[in-house]
Structure 1
Amino acid sequence: MESAPLPVPPAARQAESEADYARLGLARDRVAAWEDAARTDNSPGTYEWWYLDAHLDDGAKLVVVFMNKHFSSAQDPLRPLLRINVELPGGELRTTLAAFAPEQWSASSDLLDVRAGGNRMSGDLDTVRVRAEAEGIAIDLELRSRAGAWRPQTGHMYFGEGTDRLFAWLPAIPQGRVTGSYTVDGKTRPASGTGYHDHNWGHVPLPSVINDWYWARGQAGPYATIATYITATAEFAHATIPIFLLTRNGEVVADDARKVRFEALDVHVDAHTGKPVADITRYRYTDGSEAYTVTFVRDRDLSRRRMIDNLSDERRARAEAVGFDGAYLRFAGTLTIERHRDGLLVESYRDEAAIWELMYFGRARWPRADS
């Protein structure tokens, strides 16, 4: 007797049909300023955050994130958070996570204007300003875009049938120039360098739909890239969603994710988190006779953190009860961008100050390369 075929798991997909664009009120050829404004109402079942990072000429790295709640806790009510990460020029790391009362939070639904207490991120698709201060760290930056706002198709990813399980992503400023200052323990330093800003929101706790992702952005020579490889949970047969953008002097030269092949190489198990970590992550983009290879080579770890360690006692107990063992790892190393034409190398650029991350919500799995 023949066995019945196994059921096909529900899809994990990037929304890209004409019907998707029409339903979401989005245009294929442009991003509107309201897309970077608040996209949720802060209610249980939703989450949202705005992110900005800067790689400075003095070697420092800055990250500022405004969150209406922790992204793993969509069912929580409004619980505003502000995260600031600083890597000083000498390599010293400083991280702070500040919590605010719900009445101290506001976010415009018309344009980017997010506030948590006296902290604020505001602006438009050309210029973003951020002022944030917590635990002896103060950030005062202006980010001016050098590449137009971009999103991968609609920017909306759906998991399962229907549209109720959503994770959305908008790189509002994929690449820009940063100016301003940053202060650590009373010492203020001028800030100049490159920057990036994006916006995320959703309607489902990320650990329930995403097993892990690699996310990177960087610049080498005239090229800038955003590269992401998302792996869904077992419920969705560990389906993968690659996202890729490559610009040259601010103009898009490659952004069709269907033409990307991802590789995770020289994998080891991180002793602290128990997660598999690739020392080399590579994105190969092929479009006819033109091909690009974007490679990140890990030199050192900037963060190796189990998510459970930062939870309150109550939330930690709940996480342990369901076996949650998520982890966050952040790396520093070398980015190489190569261009080939008809199989011949015609351009190659290198940056030795790249930073990227591995977010791991699910159980450890040995990574595989795309076919």
Structure 2
Amino acid sequence: MPSVVALVVAAGRGERLSSERPKQYLPLGERMLLAHSLRRFTEHPGIDHVQVVIDPSDSALYEKAVQGFDLLPFVAGGETRQGSVRAGLEALTHFHPDIVLIHDAARPFVSSNLIDRVLDGLAHTAGCIPVVPITDTLKRLSARQEVTSGPDRNGLSAAQTPQGFRFASILNAHRTCGNDSLTDDAAVAETAGLPVAAVAGDPYNFKITSRDDMTRAEAMILPPMETRTGFGFDVHRFAPGHSVTLCGCSIPHNAQLSGYSDADVGLHALTDALLGALGDGDIGTHFPPGDPQWRDAASHQFLEEAHRRVKERGGRLINLDLTLICEAPKIGPYRGQMIARLARILDIPEARISIKATTTDKLGFTGRDEGIAAQAIATMTLPVNS
């Protein structure tokens, strides 16, 4: 059997998609995008080794991405894609592989069947690449974005990776190419006069270059989601004191709230809203009032535990809407502080949190200034049937 090495090119910057980090290190599900591409090759029985070419400045991200994979030591890339591929090929010379498959890290959905087709195609040729037919009508655009006639799409196909080659042939082609601006290895092979055959590509083996591509990839890899809504309600009476704690913030007042833990009526209502959306009991179920360990406890612990249960189920908070009902204290001056505190507790953007206050026009126990009530609604996404 011929020896086969997969060379995964991951040295690009991918700044069209993210300015924070190269796209191959963006999260895709539970792992980085690069890890999904690598898994396809490390699990394939026909691949002997996997070599990755990276930008050395990304080495910390790379080490996180490849945890658990059995890989050859990474190779530092070059100024261009061709330079990176050439560096990877040169690093493989002491292995003397028969075949090399060169793959773009930003194609995380290459299938085992596609890898097989490329390997099979190399039985009688020096190079083989997967292609997909172009079905859309092609148009040229002027500098002013005016549409002009485009090339005839008949006979045109879009090239994908992995592109497979006889190792010695493609290494020599890269060494002698003289043109460092070619966009794929088939073009390098053609400049050296190497025959390159085509096999059927896979429309799911798309290259991630834009936010829309990433959204499509996330939809493919994440479980189907549904939206859940939970409602929470809580009440605490006033007792002698000098401040109340609402949403983790201390607010000066001529009384304090009395009750379970620190009696933070806002956080208690929010905790019940999260648990309600999960169908996971209520705050009393998880933190029994009679349990002495929760006496005078900070209520953010309850909300953090409810949020941990959301994340454990694969959920994500979309929105929190809290209404505080009281005659006093005035909530408005502290609304921003409370929203910021909730955002830190739950690690979600402040824009996803709403806090409102209202009175009951002197009616009922809140109207008599005997306590504070809170209503909360939490909206989240959860995997279907979770």
- State the TM-score, normalized to the length of structure 1: 0.22
- State the TM-score, normalized to the length of structure 2: 0.21
Structure 1 or 2, whichever has the larger Rg, is: 2
Q: Which has the higher strand share?
A: 1
